[in-house]
Homo-oligomer: A and B are copies of this chain.
Amino acid sequence: MQISADKKIEMLQTMILTRKFEDALAELCKIEGKIPGMMILCTGQEAVGSGACAALEPLDVIITNHRSHNHLLAKGADPGELMAEIFCKSTGCNKGKSGTLHLAVPEVCAPCTTTVVGGSLPIAVGQAFAQQYRQQDRVTVCFFGDGAADEGSFHESLNLASLWQLPVIFVCENNLYAGAQRFDEHARVKDLAQRASAYAMPGRIVDGNDVLAVYQATMEARQSAVTGGGPTLIECKTYRCRGHGETDQQLYQPRDEIEKWQKKCPIPRLSDELVSQGLITPDGLKEMETRAGDIVDQAVRFAEESPYPLPEEALDDVFA
């Protein structure tokens, strides 16, 4: 499959934006009282959401999990409203109700984010069922981690999706850790993609640090899904370069393992390629970084300057 230069540049942009967005958060969250709750970042994994979402149409749906920033930015969520929500401000996309962990952006068809590990899968099945029921040419992408692949909900969801041949793409971000557990400490199977065979579903292994490979696999899965071929499980092999959250000191992650993976960072991997192919100039790249930095600066400023919600607003939005 030929991937257009524009598409590649779009993916590079998304990855750079995510990185800048999260680098800012990594600093901001050190400041006492600045950002409530946990801070869960995806540094090094930006290729997964960026590649998968680049393969989607605007009305395709994504359902994501606690490590969601990249997925949501890639789907087109407004960085300012995301940042404000992470700051728990009233201008946040969820008026401060969700905070960093459950960011929901229905405007870009990212209507639910759940931090219950494994929770994204049954919901994605429901979304895909609605797409099939209405005979829409749309798909749902479900993001989840390697740890989530051990939850019962994974099993029930993949079985049902396969049985009904629903247009859902299960994107498993295998970053080699679930909390402090290495992948081989929580599952004996070598590849999670193997689990697809339990449901007679295609399972694919993809280099999760290669955004183009993720894009391509998602495109193919999407094509299959909208032509009645049913769901696909895509295992993206990647690595959690930071701790589970920012307070995690990563004592259980070998230093050399981290360094090895840092060298595989998906961003220079693509940008080097684009530069060497002449698809972007070094100056163009720098400009792209500057622009992303500006967007993030602006988002932070917006979040900082926004007010907190009023206490009584806590009572709103329980019922429709």
Contact = CB atoms under 8 A, between A and B. Distances in A.
A201 B190 CA distance: 11
Contact of A197 (B153, B154, B197): B197
A162 interface: yes
Interface residues of A, number: 23
Q: How many copies does the complex hold?
A: 2
Contact of A155 (B152, B197, B200): B152
Nearest to A188: B200
Main secondary structure of the interface of A (DSSP, over half): helix
Given A151-B152, A156-B150, A195-B198, A163 B190 contact: no
Nearest to A154: B155
Interface in A189-247: 189-190, 194-195, 197-201
A157 B163 CA distance: 22
A155 B152 CA distance: 6
Contacts of A190: 200
A186 interface: yes
Contact of A152 (B153, B189, B201): B153
A155 B158 CA distance: 11
Given A151-B152, A188-B200, A194-B198, 17 more contacts: A150-B155, A150-B156, A150-B159, A151-B155, A152-B152, A152-B155, A152-B156, A154-B155, A159-B186, A159-B188, A163-B185, A163-B186, A189-B198, A189-B200, A194-B197, A197-B197, A197-B198
